[in-house]
Chains A and B, each alone.
Chain A
Amino acid sequence: MCRTLFESPTHCIKKFEWVSNMSAFYALLFTVAFLVLVIGLAKKIIQYSRVPAPLKIPVTPAPLTKGGVAVRLAKEAIMFAALFRSNKWTWLFGWMFHMSLFVVLLNHLRFFIKDVPLPLVLLQNVGEYAAFTMFIGLTGLLVRRIFVARVKYISAPSDYLWLILLMFIGLTGIVMRFISHTDIVAVKEFSLGLLTFNWQSLPTDFPLMFHLFLVAVLMILLPFSKLLHIPGLFFAPSRNQVDNPREKRHVAPWAMELDAEKNKMQPK
């Protein structure tokens, strides 16, 4: 890591200090980022599940059973069924991005598992190209956001920044994998160390630093942003309710209180 070691010992000692500070910073950053992500998301999920849905509002035709609802949600989460019906280009780029990101995340699991299981090893062969499809997908979405007047109209600065952030994460990943390799053994030691609070030093090459910093930013901002669409998708009453209002009476707690107050007329 430090050829200068032989040239100038004092300089290198300083650099070592700097490196370990840097590693500590990243270790801390990721611990904080992880906590913010988990606690932030958990808080939102708890909020969503506590707010009642007082009326039956599934968008029909809707499934008549809970199993049917699970299928409906799975189709949306995995295939983006509604988006497919809506706009083929947005679907293509959006689906490409999300599925690639999913594969990329699976690929990154190897950094947190000591003995990588065979499926993950096999995935690696195709998985490493997912970064490219992810980047293409994001580029498509960005181009659409800039050049389609309707989409441009509804975009705030943050909408562009999210895409750019994700593109840079992908790009730095591609650089490390295909151009300027980083010491992934050391990275794995660092990431495994994070899990056991046994902080290890991190290679200091620029693409890695940049990559990890952006990922941490993403993790920290996710619970405060539109990336809440991840839990939101499953909590939309328009999609997650069973279509059975005539068969089964549906009443929310606060509505029940109103009912009691109203002293409903009963047949004699």
Chain B
Amino acid sequence: MADFETPKFREYPVVPQIKSDVMAGKGPFVSRAEFDTDLGYPGELPDDWKEKTLDKMQDLLGRYRSFQVFMDSCIKCGACTDKCHYFIGTNDPKNMPVARQDLLRKVYRRYFTFAGKYFPKLVGAVDLTEDVLDEWYNYYHQCSECRRCSVFCPMGIDTAEVTMAAREILAHVGKAQKYSNQIIQKVYKIGNNLGLPGKALKGILEDLEEEVEEDTGVPVKFNMDKEGCEALLMTPSADFFAEPHIDGLIGYGKVLHELGITWTVSSIASEAANFGLFIGSYDNIQRVSMRIREEAIKLKVKRIIFGECGHAWRVAYSFLNTLAGPFDFLDQNYPVPQHILEVTYGALQEGKLRMNKEENDHLTMTFHDSCNVARASRMGDKPGGQFDIPRAVIQAACNNYVDMDSDTIKDATFCCGGGGGLLTDDLMELRVKGALPRMEALKQVTEESGVTNIAAICAICKSQFTKTLPYYGFEMDAIMSVHQLVSEAIVMTGSEQEKELDGVGDEEEAKESED
């Protein structure tokens, strides 16, 4: 299947030895011109690539304070060197956050600082060559922009910002990544990452309605392009067909139905994900975001609710107001945008949802904090709500819950290994190796606390774990959606489950449930 070895679990989480250049290579597939030109990139290496590279670098230094400050302020203290999951999983020293930043910083110093212009060797500055570009391309596609290193950096340097700048520069000299750009192009042309046309989506949603009604007896609506609903649901397109994502979507549907919130998805904006973030392109993040504004206006909704997706929630929570706001045409009694977990949690607090936790008694859950939710967003009105709210919802749906090691959760959470535009088959080795720290933490709670399943609130995490869990000896369906648990436990008004519990239904069934 693959010509690499799955890393072995370490007996203790010792800091790995460095093994230079073990992940040297060509990086993921380079984009084709046809995908690039749509997004505003040249699609091939121009003759004056060196000039263009430095020009773009200068441009970004003038546009992003983060990039400018982070190029200057690293003191090489080494605090970040053992924090990156890709370094831990691969041992390649260029996957240490500071070394990854340095690939760009060395060139910054050479061309933009006094010391590097006149004393390059002294400060470790290097000339820009095509080899340097290739190295950038390889190693800046071994970063999932998860920000774990920034938590530990005494200067607050966020490698994600540097990686985004690097990818943006590379794209401007024809070295964009195929996976991300092809996906963004699909969003523009079809409406979602998967290229799922409206007609197919409609069919899926109708099937879901049937399925839920069959299971529960309740006609839960999964609307598409329906004008005048209360809420526009923005959810990652994986929720429309992949496991366990779709079980989460069923959960949102049930919660919203029970709360009497009418909702619709849009066939044009049928994707919460925004890969513009991954490629570091302000223009593309904005263009993708603008669809949401336009559809919210067109469909005359009052609220925008986001489904379970990590980076989508970062873009929604942190950037949507900036990029596509102001949203003064929406109902200001609700946060714009709102996370489905905020909706569910609020309703649980108010006692508006009835939950039968016993439905999930066969499970002992743990929760994987998705990086973008944990370190780049918030839920609720308190800092850290992004940690507490998902846990509270899981525990409202399930009796057995255990947290993983405290060094691997909340704001110290490890990336799943597939974020930041790396969830592509041509990076499988990196993805499996990068999953190591999370898999180790999971292994520990399975052994010590009998954890059976791990829940996540990110489409990428869910897909990544489905693929990588088996490499580490777990079942692929150990990964679940948080709203999948909600979906199992929720007792909707007038549902078969309600009748069963309250004993008004078929007498034999009532007896069975008592046993």
B158–A154 CB distance below 8 A: no
B383–A150 CB distance below 8 A: no
A151 at the interface (CB under 8 A from B): yes
A48–B122 CB distance below 8 A: no
Chain A, 211-246, CB within 8 A of any chain B CB = 221, 224-226, 228-229, 232-233, 235-239, 243, 245-246
Q: A82-B153, A226-B75, A245-B317 are in contact. Are A156 and B123 (CB under 8 A)?
A: yes
The distance in angstroms between the C-alpha atoms of A229 and B286, with both chains bound, is 32
A-facing mask of B49-62, CB < 8 A → 1, else 0?
Answer: 00000000000011
Q: Which residues of B contact A53 (CB under 8 A)?
A: 64-66
Min Cβ gap A159→B in Å is 5
A154–B79 CB distance below 8 A: no
B8 at the interface (CB under 8 A from A): no
A175 at the interface (CB under 8 A from B): no
Chain A, 135-172, CB within 8 A of any chain B CB = 144-145, 148-151, 153-159, 161
Chain A, 244-263, CB within 8 A of any chain B CB = 245-246, 249-251, 254-255, 258, 262
The distance in angstroms between the C-alpha atoms of A48 and B211, with both chains bound, is 56
Q: A51-B61, A60-B375, A246-B321 are in contact. Are A150 and B66 (CB under 8 A)?
A: no
The distance in angstroms between the C-alpha atoms of A150 and B81, with both chains bound, is 7
Q: A154-B96, A224-B114 are in contact. Are A229 and B64 (CB under 8 A)?
A: no
Residue tally, chain B, CB below 8 Å to A: 76
Q: Which residues of B contact A80 (CB under 8 A)?
A: 154
B46 at the interface (CB under 8 A from A): no
Which single member of A57, A63, A228 contacts B383 (CB below 8 Å)?
A: A63
Q: A90-B79, A245-B318 are in contact. Are A233 and B155 (CB under 8 A)?
A: yes
B150 at the interface (CB under 8 A from A): yes
Q: Which residues of A contact B75 (CB under 8 A)?
A: 226, 229
User: B376: nearest residue on chain A (CB-CB)?
Assistant: A60
A125 at the interface (CB under 8 A from B): no
User: B94: nearest residue on chain A (CB-CB)?
Assistant: A153
A83–B96 CB distance below 8 A: no
A-facing mask of B363-385, CB < 8 A → 1, else 0?
Answer: 00000000000111110000110
The distance in angstroms between the C-alpha atoms of A233 and B157, with both chains bound, is 9
User: B101: nearest residue on chain A (CB-CB)?
Assistant: A154
B317–A262 CB distance below 8 A: no
A56–B319 CB distance below 8 A: yes
Q: Which of A56, A151, A154, A258 gathers the greatest number of chain B CB atoms within 10 Å?
A: A154
Q: A51-B61, A51-B64 are in contact. Are A224 and B155 (CB under 8 A)?
A: no
B122–A54 CB distance below 8 A: no
B72 at the interface (CB under 8 A from A): yes
The distance in angstroms between the C-alpha atoms of A161 and B297, with both chains bound, is 60
B73–A232 CB distance below 8 A: yes
B66–A255 CB distance below 8 A: no
B70 at the interface (CB under 8 A from A): yes
A64–B383 CB distance below 8 A: yes
B247 at the interface (CB under 8 A from A): no
B325 at the interface (CB under 8 A from A): yes
B297–A237 CB distance below 8 A: no
B113 at the interface (CB under 8 A from A): yes
Q: Which residues of B contact A155 (CB under 8 A)?
A: 76
Q: Which residues of A contact B99 (CB under 8 A)?
A: 153-154
Q: A57-B376, A254-B63 are in contact. Are A243 and B81 (CB under 8 A)?
A: no
The distance in angstroms between the C-alpha atoms of A61 and B15, with both chains bound, is 26
Q: Size class of A's contact patch?
A: 35 or more
Which single member of A63, A90, A153, A158 contacts B123 (CB below 8 Å)?
A: A158
A-facing mask of B146-179, CB < 8 A → 1, else 0?
Answer: 0100111111111001000000000000000000
Q: Which residues of B contact A250 (CB under 8 A)?
A: 321-322
A76–B154 CB distance below 8 A: yes
B335 at the interface (CB under 8 A from A): yes
Chain B, 317-337, CB within 8 A of any chain A CB = 317-319, 321-322, 324-326, 329, 335-337
Q: Which residues of A contact B157 (CB under 8 A)?
A: 236, 238
Q: Which residues of A contact B375 (CB under 8 A)?
A: 59-60
A94 at the interface (CB under 8 A from B): yes
B417 at the interface (CB under 8 A from A): no
B-facing mask of A114-137, CB < 8 A → 1, else 0?
Answer: 000000000000000000000000
Min Cβ gap A69→B in Å is 12
Q: Which residues of B contact A226 (CB under 8 A)?
A: 72-76
Chain B, 88-103, CB within 8 A of any chain A CB = 93, 96, 98-99, 102
Min Cβ gap A5→B in Å is 44
Q: A158-B123, A225-B115 are in contact. Are A61 and B326 (CB under 8 A)?
A: no
List the 8 closest A-B pairs by CB distance, nearest first: A232-B73, A156-B124, A236-B156, A61-B383, A86-B152, A151-B78, A239-B156, A86-B79
26 contacts between A and B (CB under 8 A): A48-B65, A48-B68, A51-B69, A53-B65, A56-B318, A57-B318, A59-B375, A59-B376, A60-B378, A80-B154, A82-B152, A90-B77, A150-B96, A153-B96, A154-B81, A154-B99, A157-B121, A225-B123, A229-B155, A232-B155, A237-B65, A238-B157, A238-B161, A264-B290, A264-B293, A265-B294
